[in-house]
Amino acid sequence: MSTPSAGSGFGLSKWTMRRRTLVTASAMIPVAMLLSGCAGEADGSSRGLTGTVLADGSSTVAPLTAAARHLFVGVEPDVEIKNTSTGTSAGFRSLCSGITDISNASRPISDDEASKCADAGVDFTEILVANDGLSVIVNPENDWATDLTLEQLASIWAPESEGEVTNWNQVNPAFPDQPLALFGPGSDSGTLDFFTVAVNGEEGAIRGDYNASEDDNNTVAGVREDIGAIGFLGLSYVEENEGDIVAASVDGVSPSTDTVQDGSYAPLSRSLFIYVNNASYADKSHVKAFVDFYVENAWDIAERALFVPLTDEQILLAQDELDSLR
């Protein structure tokens, strides 16, 4: 069972830590040198590649991979990238079944999932691509829940709150007599796994009487339409839907690029990953080209897609992860 790591706020997995060697001062080259030119603009570098890249998994990471796809077609227009979002857990099942080339993931792979990949003979590589502040969202007309504590979040979302905590004034007597309407990700979501560990102390521990969907846009729509609604999803959805939803601060800290990168938005800061099927990378030149492009332009892709970019150190670590595939 995976848990967010303490301190950094990014929840780096044991698979990453096992393979990584911390860069020394002599290796700290300027990060800009790692970014291969102007992402997404045809610059004559096309090799005329063809083929299909299959990506599946996290609905949080899917828009990031979509942004990478959009930019990549400026370089290799004849490569098709099919990018679906069935949830992190479902994405890992597809990866371990040998169906997909890339698994989008909003949490690290679990021991059990990694064992299933090993049993199926599927080797993979985990690569950092961006950061995220898992955001608690409310309706813009909600003027009382602008800052919530972890304790209050637990009182709303804990399994024992099902059918019991149904009104905002039960969360805090100072809050209005307003029914709660709850929205969030479904059971295959890595966001659900991460949130339940951070807030309720156990993966998957959550009340069952909320509106669950693997499509984060449904959570956005539900919160937008009900003044008493609350939900949780990735920060990029807040950025993309400015004015329709609002991110509440948690224990006085709001999710932002700065608070996510410095770890002060704890414990809801996390890293986002792609997991690459090693055989696909080795045997399919179009998969290799897309993964290389994705990682080498990760900072620019994250900026354009309204995600929190990797820190300088993380960019070097992601490049090290990519190098392990080559």
List pLDDT tens digits, range 239-255. Answer: 999 999 999 999 999 99
List pLDDT tens digits, range 159-211. Answer: 999 999 999 999 999 999 999 999 999 999 999 999 999 999 999 999 999 99
| Domain shared by 297 and 213, yes or no | no
Domain finish residue from 224, 254, 284: 254
295 pLDDT above the threshold of 80: yes
Q: Which domain holds residue 219?
A: 135-254
State whether the Cα torsion 22-28-30-36 is positive or negative: negative
| Domain shared by 143 and 242, yes or no | yes
CA 53 to chain centre: 20
Domain finish residue from 254, 284, 306: 254
97 pLDDT above the threshold of 80: yes
41 pLDDT above the threshold of 80: no
The three-state DSSP-derived secondary structure of 44-111 is: CCCCCCCEEEEEEECCCCHHHHHHHHHHHCCCCCCEEEEECCCCHHHHHHHHHCCCCCEEEECCCCCH
Instruction: Judge whether 182 and 122 are in contact, CB under 8 Å.
Output: no
Q: What's at 208, amino acid-wise? A: G
| Domain shared by 36 and 122, yes or no | yes
pLDDT of residue 47: 83
Phi, psi dihedrals of residue 48, rounded to the nearest 5°: 70, 35
- The count of domains in the chain is 2
CATH code of the domain in which 66 resides: 3.40.190.10
Residue 326's pLDDT band, with cuts at 50, 70 and 90, is confident
154 domain-assigned: yes
| Domain shared by 139 and 236, yes or no | yes
| Domain shared by 125 and 85, yes or no | yes
Share of the chain above pLDDT 70, in %: 86
- The pTM of this model reads 0.83
| Domain shared by 157 and 63, yes or no | no
As a whole number, mean pLDDT of residues 306-319 equals: 96
| Domain shared by 36 and 99, yes or no | yes
Tokens of 31: 């990060």
List pLDDT tens digits, range 199-230. Answer: 999 999 999 999 999 999 999 999 999 999 99
Share of the chain above pLDDT 90, in %: 85
